[in-house]
A and B are shown apart, each in its own frame.
Chain A
Amino acid sequence: MQLISPSTTIVALATGNGQGAIAVIRLSGKDAISIVSTFFKGKNLIGEAGYTLHFGEIVNNDEVIDEVLVALFKAPKSYTGEDVVEISCHASAYIIEKIIQLCIEHGAQLAMPGEFTQRAFLNGKMDLTQAEAVADLIASNAAAAHRAAMHNLKGGFKHVLDEMREQLIHFTALIQLELDFSDEDVTFADRSQLVALLNQLYNQTNNLIQSFALGNAIKNGVNVAIVGKPNAGKSTLLNALLNEERAIVSAIPGTTRDTVEESININGIIFKLIDTAGIRNHTVDEIEAIGIARSKKALEKTDVVIFLFDVNDSLDTVMQQINEWNLLQYKCIAVGNKCDLLDNNLAYMQHHFADLPIQQKIFISALQKNGIDAIKNLLYNMVVGGQLNFEQAIITNIRHYHALIELKNALVEVQNGLQQNLPGDLLTIDINHCLYFLGTITGKIETDRDILGAIFSKFCIGK
């Protein structure tokens, strides 16, 4: 079991998740400064004094991630008593994640809950009376993390992980069987069987890693694109949803030339609204054309599409728009706007657009702010009710993500070993790594009894 080791350098987000304009990422440990200096473009941080601030860029292979301020604290004059670096960056989920990932790639480990405070205590930065508080903090952080993890694990994720653990234990049991019980009258797994089992595990791990992006979408917000022909009232709708005047609203078609991104919070879930420039097939304005290209791109990564149409148009015209933008391939809400021009006669409109091939239909007046709550409720229910396409296991926790990456690497090692016909006892060194990393997610680190249990339950062992 791997526990906190004071010889490592740890990293974590020090400010709350996603709130505010600036985020602070903190590193502590003997390599803190050298790790940051590998991807900090500015002054060479190594050799700089403590209590100094440095402006520069965080770069990843020539890509500039962000402009940041870096604060250096030298041991023992820091919060933890170790070398500490604090990176103040812009509070975007992408930037934060990227910078933490860079730190990890260069040798830092994600901090455990309360680990900074604990190090501070261990290094004599706090007196014993504060120990209780620290312990409580760790316990409550762990409980909170556990609650969060349990929340994440509610869906298919837990099921997938439990299944993977069982398969990995089974795989290990097959290998151990021929090591500890080679004298027994049992049939040992042949290598092709082991390879197949391993490939299956590898694919599952890979799928989980890929679903990480999907999981993040929920954590960082659900993308909602608003599309519709120019002047259908998209910007007015956006403003109504936001309750603010953000996009330039005018009666001239094509006023919105760029995608406008805004977030709203509906009952605790963040939705990112993307107001696209109206998609027209023939356009003359070059700048508008660029905006439209971006709109099409926005559609590609959207989770939900709000298709806004003008209720004064004929069914045929509306159908044409649906087909033009291939809306039927998305999770889509059809929103009929400008009902005020038809005296808000809902019965008439429902009848008139009954044949629209989109199941969810709402009729509103963005101008009069009629029906806006209905849209909000529908969006919320689609996420909570599981109608959105998040069937795959979702990982919302960066720690899980890294554990999965490590698991994948260890699985590759086992695959290589199998290919080289390595003896089973040497294979198990890497298999144990797999079990360990999976265990850091499921919380079941101890495995030897499970493995022996699997052997004794499946095979008739013993003289």
Chain B
Amino acid sequence: MFAEYDVIVVGAGHAGCEAAAAAANMGSKVLLITMNMQTIAQMSCNPAMGGIAKGQIVREIDALGGYSGIVTDKSMIQFRMLNKSKGPAMWSPRAQNDRMLFAATWRQMLEQTPNVDFYQDMVRELILKNGKACGVVTQLGHTIAAKAVVVTSGTFLNGVIHIGEKQFGGGRVAEKAATGITEQLVAQGMEASRLKTGTPPRVDGRSLDYSKMEEQQGDTEITGFSYLPNTVPITAAQQRSCYITYTNTTVHDILKTGFDRSPMFQGRIEGVGPRYCPSIEDKINRFAERDRHQLFVEPEGWNTVEIYVNGFSTSLPEEVQIQALQQVPGFENCKIFRPGYAIEYDFFPPTQLTHALETKAIQNLFFAGQINGTTGYEEAACQGIMAGMNAHLKINGQAPFILKRSEAYIGVLIDDLISKGTEEPYRMFTSRAEYRTLLRQDNADLRLTEISYRLGLASQERMEGVRKKQAAVAAITEQLQQYAIEPDAINEYLNSIQSAPLSEKQKAAKLLLRPSVTLTDMLPHLTDLQQGLQHHLPEYLEQAEIQIKYERYIAKEQELVEKMNVMEDLLIPENFDYDRLQALSSEARQKFKKVQPRTIGQAGRISGVNPSDIQILMVYMGR
């Protein structure tokens, strides 16, 4: 019934969709298998994309030629640039999305992608030959051959849902769990473990009193996620607001009455949950001194009254959930559409992968998303695009595509997973990146598009956009370095921002180094310069300004990167025999054998490894 595919992608969430799109756009024939064609690209948790560190990841996916940025732009109902008061490396785009429009847009874009076929079925087994994945067997009994398989199982592998004392199998509420793959791979010698995550109740927006909450509006300017032009169909005025309200001690007291039926506190949940995304019962329990917790009331879309209560993730019994919610200001008459719940699922500790996201145990088998122990749409999607690209490269005999920690948050994420593993669902934070001044949301295209273009993923249009941006930024920088500002022209502005006035002419680029001086505020006072620059896009002007203003810090990190690159360039041969190195400490030897670091730099990041172990390793790498 099926011809042989190049790549089969199992699962059609954020990771699976990106993987399918990437492999197909590079030229592979792809089959995307999902258990339900109606739930492609679901936002299973909150209806939002981006945020701090996550927004940067979406920009990186877009720069590589992925779809997440475009889909987010097309389905957004609100946009905010977070951390705008901090340095530019912290600026993080975030969007609220129409949940249904998001999924529909994804499906539409995939349907319009040549080389992507769809099939609705459950994969219950992988076909393995000589330690290599070469297809799948479905529940309906089909055997489908492929050169590579990407598994993006999300929370579906042996998923178990908990609501109070109720407990049942499922991959999401009202959706069946998937079985078979874990058992098969464990029998092959791979290690699997359990993680947990949770989600809050969805409520009826018509039952809420917004006058008792704080309104949180979108930004007055929407810059969006995609580097392609005209991807945001809405204007700032059309945006939907979110609302903020708070729990109180009455709410907490009611929630506590359900603790004896809580699957978390009663030990029915064995998986580890994320510390930064705790359930409301966890927050009350661990931070007993706090008498309130913040809740974000987020609309689920343009054409629905459904509301997502962000901050109220819970697996307490439904009646406790509703009673407690009704004590929250604005929620007095609240009606619940669907209760919150906790879900446990299988993951494979990611130290079992290579940097290409291919399993070490089985060739041509790639993992992406929650199966690797991560959490978040953005984290999943970026692994998806990398797995899809690498699957394509692998079957075409090309070298894997690996991003360095100094090149992208994606590089940080994958290297963290592979070198350190994870004990809780892994989420990206900017503090995980040692070179975050370089990894900004404004320059992801300058960092990544060209590499992807050369590999055959990023389009010609994207590449031309980058070249145009580079040329414009260079021209603007040149102008700002040449233009000498007369004190008379600028001192009024400088006085107004309490910055020392000029006593003699100064180059515009130099004045921009002052922290309080901005190009936008400076230009109106320098009409000839303004005229010379006005044909440039605001995005280009901003890029030139950032590069000038933060040059010192960028250079500082760049220097660090170059120092470290010496280590990153020292490759360790595959299948290196660590047992031969008697001088290694036994802990280091064990870790090295497990992780199989690719470079000396990576070896040094493995926890429990000492500098002397690295030195010993280097002795053997000598020639």
Alpha-carbon distance between A138 and B296 when the two chains are bound, in angstroms: 56
Tell whether A118 pairs with B618 under 8 Å between CB atoms, given A3-B600, A425-B89, A463-B277: yes
Q: Which residues of A contact B563 (CB under 8 A)?
A: 2, 5
Knowing A118-B618, A423-B87 are in contact, say whether A182-B82 is a contact too (CB < 8 A).
yes
Tell me whether A180 and B431 are in contact (CB under 8 A). yes
B622 adjacent to A179 (CB under 8 Å) = no
Chain B residues positioned under 8 Å from A142 (CB to CB): 610-612, 615
Given A132-B582, A180-B431, A420-B515, check contact A463 B619 (CB 8 Å): no
The answer, yes or no, to whether B337 is at the interface (CB within 8 Å) is: no
A3 and B583 contact, Cβ closer than 8 Å, known pairs A131-B620, A180-B431, A183-B82: no
Is the CB of A451 closer than 8 A to any CB of chain B? yes
A462 at the interface (CB under 8 A from B): yes
In whole angstroms, what is the CA distance A180 to B89 when docked? 11
Q: Report A183 CB to chain B, min CB distance, Å.
A: 6
Q: Size of chain B's interface in residues, with CB distance under 8 A? A: 64
Partner of B619, one of A112, A134, A141, A178: A134
Task: With A7-B566, A139-B612, A423-B90 as known contacts, state yes or no: A179 contacts B605, CB within 8 Å.
Answer: no
Option from A7, A115, A179 in Cβ contact (under 8 Å) with B86: A179
Segment among B282-290, B341-349, B352-360, B472-480 that sits at the interface with chain A: B282-290
CA distance A394 to B276 in the complex (A): 40
A3-B600, A138-B583, A446-B605 known; A426-B87 Cβ under 8 A:
yes
CB distance from A136 to the nearest CB of B (A): 5
Number of chain A residues whose Cβ lies closer than 8 Å to a Cβ of chain B: 54
Contact between chains at B293 and A432 (CB < 8 Å): no
CB 8 Å contact bits of B86-125 with A (1 = contact, 0 = none) = 1101100000000000000000000000000000000000
Most buried by A among B550, B557, B583, B604: B583
Tell me if A113 is interfacial: C-beta within 8 Å of chain B: yes
What are the residues of chain A within 8 A of B53 when measuring CB–CB?
A: 180
A139–B620 alpha-carbon span in the complex (Å): 14
CB pair A5 B566 closer than 8 Å: yes
Stretch at the interface among B163-171, B249-257, B432-440, B481-489: B432-440
| Residue contact B623 to A180, C-beta cutoff 8 Å | no
CB-CB under 8 A from B607, the residues of chain A are 446
Q: Whole-angstrom distance between the alpha carbons of A138 and B607 in the complex? A: 20
Q: Measured between alpha carbons, how far is A462 from B45 in the docked complex, in Å?
A: 14
In this complex, what residue of B is CB-closest to A6? B566
Question: What's the nearest-Cβ distance from chain A to residue B376, in Å?
Answer: 12
CB-CB < 8 A to B581: which residues of A? 135
Residues A183 and B89 in contact in the complex (CB < 8 Å), given A3-B600, A5-B563: no
Beta-carbon contact of A448 and B432 below 8 Å: yes
Q: Using a CB-CB cutoff of 8 Å, which residues 424-463 of chain A contact chain B?
A: 424-426, 428-429, 432, 443, 446, 448, 451-452, 456, 460-463
Docked Cα-Cα span, A183 to B274, in Å, equals: 18
Do A182 and B52 contact each other (CB < 8 Å), given the known contacts A5-B563, A425-B90, A432-B434? yes
Interface centre among B311, B600, B611 (most CB of A within 10 A): B611
Q: In angstroms, how far is the closest chain A Cβ from the Cβ of B333?
A: 24
A139-B612, A425-B90, A443-B610 are contacts. A1–B605 as well, Cβ < 8 Å? yes
CB of A42 within 8 A of chain B? Answer: no
Residues of A within 8 A of B431 (CB): 176, 179-180, 428, 448, 451-452
Determine which of A180, A420, A460 lies in contact with B286 in the assembled complex, contact meaning CB atoms within 8 Å: A460
Interface residues of B in 539-595 (CB under 8 A from A): 550, 553, 556-557, 563, 566-567, 581-585
Tell me, yes or no, whether B616 is within 8 Å of chain A by CB. yes
Contact A179 B83 (CB under 8 A): yes
Taking the complex as formed, is B265 at the interface, i.e. its CB lies under 8 A from any CB of chain A? no
Complex-state Cα separation, A112 to B611, whole angstroms: 9
B310 within 8 A of A: yes
Residue B553 contacts which of A124, A141, A429, A456 (CB distance < 8 angstroms)? A429
The answer to whether B293 and A185 touch across the interface, beta carbons within 8 angstroms, is yes
A114 at the interface (CB under 8 A from B): yes
User: Cβ of A1: which chain B residues have Cβ within 8 Å of it?
Assistant: 604-605, 611
A388-426 Cβ-contact flags toward B at 8 Å (1 or 0)? 000000000000000000000000000000001111111
* Contact (A185, B294) CB under 8 Å given A451-B431, A452-B431, A462-B277: yes
Supposing A121-B622, A448-B431, A460-B287 touch, asked if A135 and B276 sit within 8 A by C-beta, the answer is no
Residues of A within 8 A of B582 (CB): 132, 135-136
Q: Knowing A118-B619, A460-B287, say if A421 contacts B311 (CB, 8 Å).
A: no
| A122 within 8 A of partner (CB) | yes
Interchain CB contact under 8 A, B434 and A460: no
Cα–Cα, bound, A114→B611 (Å): 12
Which residues of B lie under 8 Å from residue A131 when comparing CB positions?
619-620, 622
CB distance from B551 to the nearest CB of A (A): 12
Q: Is the pair A429, B557 in contact by a Cβ cutoff of 8 Å?
A: yes
Does B614 belong to the interface (CB within 8 Å)?
A: yes
CA A179 – CA B434 in complex, angstroms?
Answer: 14
Residue with the highest number of chain B CB atoms closer than 10 Å, among A2, A138, A141, A425: A425
In the complex, the answer to whether B615 meets A115 with C-beta atoms within 8 Å is yes
Check: B465 CB closer than 8 A to any chain A CB.
Answer: no
Q: How far is the CA of A423 from the CA of B614 in the complex (A)?
A: 35
Query: What distance in Å separates the Cβ of A443 from its nearest Cβ neighbour in chain B?
Result: 7
Which of A3, A114, A118, A426 lies in contact with B604, CB distance below 8 A? A3
Say if the beta carbon of A245 comes within 8 Å of chain B.
no
| Chain B residues in 8 Å Cβ range of A4 | 611, 614-615, 618
Residues in chain B near residue A178, CB distance under 8 A: 86
Q: Is A324 an interface residue (CB 8 A)?
A: no
Contacts of A429 in B (CB 8 A): 437, 553, 556-557
- Give the distance to chain A from B288, nearest Cβ to Cβ, in Å: 10
Q: Which residues of B (258-309) have their CB < 8 Å from a CB of A? A: 274-278, 283, 286-287, 290, 292-294, 296
How many angstroms from the CA of A113 to the CA of B83 in the assembled complex? 45
Closest Cβ of chain A to B173, distance in Å, is 19
Q: Which residues of A contact B550 (CB under 8 A)?
A: 426
Instruction: Flag if A452 contacts B293 (CB, 8 Å).
Output: no
B46 within 8 A of A: yes
- Contact between B46 and A138 (Cβ–Cβ < 8 Å)? no
Chain B residues near A422 (CB-CB < 8 A): 87, 515
Q: C-beta contact mask, A115-143 vs B, less than 8 Å → 1, else 0?
A: 10010011010001001101110110110
Contact A132 B286 (CB under 8 A): no
Does A166 sit at the interface, judged by CB under 8 A? no
Nearest-CB distance from B279 to chain A (Å)?
A: 9
Contact at B567–A3, with CB atoms within 8 Å?
yes
Quick one: which of B38-57 are within 8 Å of A by CB?
46, 51-53
B583 contacts across to A, CB distance below 8 A: 132, 135-136, 138-139
Interchain CA distance A112-B553 in the complex, whole Å: 29
Whether a CB of chain B sits under 8 angstroms from the CB of A184 is: yes
Contacts of A132 in B (CB 8 A): 582-583
**Cβ contacts under 8 Å, B278 to chain A:** 460-462
| Complex contact B553–A426 (CB within 8 A) | yes
Residue pair B622, A122 in contact (C-beta under 8 Å): yes
Residues of B within 8 A of A423 (CB): 85-87, 90
Cβ of A461 to closest chain B Cβ, rounded Å: 5
| Interface pair B614/A3, CB less than 8 Å apart | yes
Expressed in whole angstroms, the Cα–Cα distance for A284 and B384 within the complex equals 94
List 14 A–B pairs whose Cβ atoms lie within 8 Å, in order of A's numbering.
Answer: A2-B563, A3-B601, A6-B566, A128-B623, A131-B622, A138-B583, A185-B294, A425-B89, A425-B437, A426-B437, A432-B434, A446-B607, A461-B276, A462-B278
Lowest 10 A-B CB distances belong to which pairs? A142-B612, A135-B583, A185-B294, A423-B87, A139-B583, A460-B287, A456-B275, A425-B87, A463-B311, A122-B622
**A residues adjacent to B (C-beta < 8 A):** 1-7, 112-115, 118, 121-122, 124, 128, 131-132, 134-136, 138-139, 141-142, 176, 178-185, 420-426, 428-429, 432, 443, 446, 448, 451-452, 456, 460-463
Additional A-B contacts beyond A4-B611, A135-B619 (16; CB < 8 A) = A3-B614, A112-B615, A115-B615, A122-B623, A132-B583, A139-B585, A139-B612, A178-B86, A424-B87, A426-B87, A426-B553, A456-B275, A460-B286, A460-B290, A462-B277, A463-B296
